Amino acid sequence: MKNKTAFFCQQCGYESPKWAGKCPACGSWNSFVEERVEKTNGKQQVTDLWHEENKQAGKAKSIETIVAEEETRQTLPDSELNRTLGGGLVQGSVVLVAGEPGIGKSTLFLQCALHWQGMRTLYVSGEESAHQIKMRAERVGQKNENLFLLTATDTATIFQEIKKIKPQWVIIDSIQTLESPYIESAPGSVSQVRECAAELQRFAKQTGTPVCIIGHITKDGTIAGPKILEHMVDTVLQFEGDRHYAYRILRTLKNRFGSTSELGIYEMTSNGMRGITNPSEVLLTQHDEPLSGIAIAAAIEGLRPMMIEVQALASQAVYGTPQRTTNGFDLRRLQLLLAVLEKRGGFHFGSKDVFLNIAGGLKIEDPSIDLAIVCALLSSYEDTALPSNICLVGEVGLSGEIRAVNRIEQRIAEAAKMGMDAIIIPKANAKGLDQANFGIAIRLATKVSDVYQSLFS
């Protein structure tokens, strides 16, 4: 049979018989590539490799006849991974984990499989040899006879081994290295990623076996492959953080069985990934003497309150155009706050270079740290150190007002737990707040000028 060729969009997976400059589905330009496609009746052959008795014929049912049952979850030995998954691993679920190279995706799931003694696990690697994985397992320092390693990229071979071993958990490392014998294209292409993910999804749903898929990301940070890959899986997790720092954030982007507000925090050590149960203790730096340009913010990441150290530096611009550099914070948001200080406060930041850093290499999107960033900038501008026992909470508006934030009670409780003496919060959050329930002094502020008079006068 003559080989068939088609053009696929690298962004969304749209298939076209001829090349086009703009994708009609997602609107991206110059994203079509030509691939050879030769489909056979191989899907039925692949699905025949697992248990026939687990298959169910598709029949329509009345919604009233369906019994609603809670998903059966299996608790993983990693508490942070359990948190991001919504309480555990759901049977028959497909989990996609993506992140930068070397950030710790393979290490996390290998050590989790090693510590899960009672679970028969199959670890499929298409990137490393069995000896390389064994060396990493020895570094983790754990043994497990129920963990089986398979170095293969052909999906037919993988399903044959699955039929022999009958694992209770399957880990694929990674989806971009797999290839289906029924698609004539290179591994990692749109058609191969889509077909291999579809075969793994059918296996997970028909047998009730959870499957965790490790994926790559592109240079702009998005998950490599077609966008339909994220729609096919049940849960999407993404590792964030600079690999030059020790701390990593595992963030939930999609979860059909739980909340997408959860996140896990890890520390990369020589023995693998270590979960951080109290991130505030490790993110706050202990200084021997007060330093200017440092402020403490009570932030909320996911559902977890944590204390964040904000570092700012404002120096006289040497060149004509002042620099604006951020690490872990949105640059446009910093420019907005500088404009507020310039217009409402009369501080001349237009002639100064401004550098902002979130300690620990974390990326914070919570707008409630605006007040801490403003105070850190003013501290560096005035070269006056802020008290280390005061933390700040509040979103700064364009007119210099301090706007209310959500979940203020959890922020105050976290600040009191970390030994802070006082916390500055928006006055709008004081309604219905009983200050006697917290062992910390609560100060109220309406405008940035009020905070400036309180801290620098």
Which residues are CB-contacts of 367 (< 8 A; sequence separation ≥ 6)?
333, 395, 405
Q: How much of the chain is in helix, strand and coil states, percent to nearest 5?
A: 30, 30, 40
Residue 105 known to bind ligand:
yes
Q: In what order do the strands lie in the sheet with 15-16?
A: 15-16, 4-9, 32-37
Which residues are CB-contacts of 85 (< 8 A; sequence separation ≥ 6)?
76, 95, 235, 237, 252, 255, 257, 258
Residue 394 known to bind ligand:
no
Average pLDDT on 77-84 reads 90
Percentage of residues in the chain with pLDDT exceeding 70?
Answer: 93
Please write the tens of the pLDDT for every residue from 181-199: 888 788 888 888 989 999 9
- Adjacent-strand bridge partners of 312: 356
Between 37-41, 210-214, 350-354, the lowest mean confidence (pLDDT) is in: 37-41
The pLDDT value recorded for residue 51 is 45
pLDDT(235) > 90: yes
The pLDDT value recorded for residue 150 is 94
Asked whether the bond before 399 is cis by omega within 30 degrees of 0, the reply is: no
pLDDT(21) > 70: yes
The pLDDT value recorded for residue 38 is 60
The pLDDT value recorded for residue 448 is 93
Distance (Å, whole) CA 333 – CA 336 = 5
pLDDT(282) > 90: no
pLDDT(91) > 50: yes
Distance (Å, whole) CA 324 – CA 322 = 7
pLDDT(320) > 90: no
Please write the tens of the pLDDT for every residue from 370-393: 999 999 999 999 999 998 889 999
Residue 104 known to bind ligand:
yes
The pLDDT value recorded for residue 3 is 61
Distance (Å, whole) CA 167 – CA 89 = 15
Q: Give the rounded distance of the alpha carbon of 10 from its chain centre.
A: 23
Residue 138 known to bind ligand:
no
The pLDDT value recorded for residue 53 is 42
pLDDT(125) > 80: yes
pLDDT(210) > 90: yes
Least Cα distance to 359 among 415, 305, 294, 310 occurs for 310
Q: Which two tokens stand for residue 257?
A: 């069985």
Between 7-16, 304-313, 414-423, the lowest mean confidence (pLDDT) is in: 7-16
The pLDDT value recorded for residue 54 is 45
Between 2-11, 51-60, 163-172, 202-211, the lowest mean confidence (pLDDT) is in: 51-60
Per-position DSSP letters for 25-92, written without gaps between them:
TT--BS-EEEEEE---THHHHHHTTS-GGG--------GGGSPP-PPPEE--S-HHHHHHHTSSEETT
Alpha-helical regions (H) of 86-154 = 105-115, 130-140
The pLDDT value recorded for residue 39 is 55
Residue 228 known to bind ligand:
no
> Pairing relation of β-strands 263-269 and 272-275?
antiparallel
Least Cα distance to 189 among 172, 175, 203, 170 occurs for 175
Burial of 373 (0-12, 13-18, 19+ CB in 10 A): buried
Distance (Å, whole) CA 101 – CA 306 = 27
Least Cα distance to 302 among 214, 362, 244, 229 occurs for 362
H/E run at residue 192 = helix 190-207
Residue 13 known to bind ligand:
no
pLDDT(405) > 90: yes
Residue 187 known to bind ligand:
no
The pLDDT value recorded for residue 2 is 53
Least Cα distance to 251 among 225, 206, 207, 221 occurs for 221
CB-side neighbour CA atoms (13 Å) of 405: 30
Please write the tens of the pLDDT for every residue from 126-184: 989 999 999 989 888 888 899 999 999 999 999 999 999 999 999 999 899 999 988 87
The pLDDT value recorded for residue 42 is 46
| Residue 87 vs residue 46, higher pLDDT | 87
Q: What are the angstrom distances between the C-alpha of 320 and each of 331, 346, 351, 380?
A: 20, 21, 9, 21
Residue 447 known to bind ligand:
no
The pLDDT value recorded for residue 391 is 93
Mapping DSSP to helix (H, G, I), strand (E, B) and coil, where does residue 125 land?
strand
Q: How confident is the model at residue 285 (pLDDT cuts 50, 70, 90)?
A: confident
Average pLDDT on 332-339 reads 95
Least Cα distance to 191 among 4, 14, 402 occurs for 14
pLDDT(339) > 50: yes
Average pLDDT on 97-104 reads 89
CB-side neighbour CA atoms (13 Å) of 331: 7
* Identity of the amino acid at 26: C
Q: Which two tokens stand for residue 77?
A: 């030995």
Distance (Å, whole) CA 258 – CA 95 = 13
Distance (Å, whole) CA 73 – CA 88 = 5
Q: Which two tokens stand for residue 355?
A: 């550098």
Q: How confident is the model at residue 283 (pLDDT cuts 50, 70, 90)?
A: confident
Please write the tens of the pLDDT for every residue from 22-75: 988 888 888 888 877 665 554 444 444 454 444 455 678 888 888 877 777 889
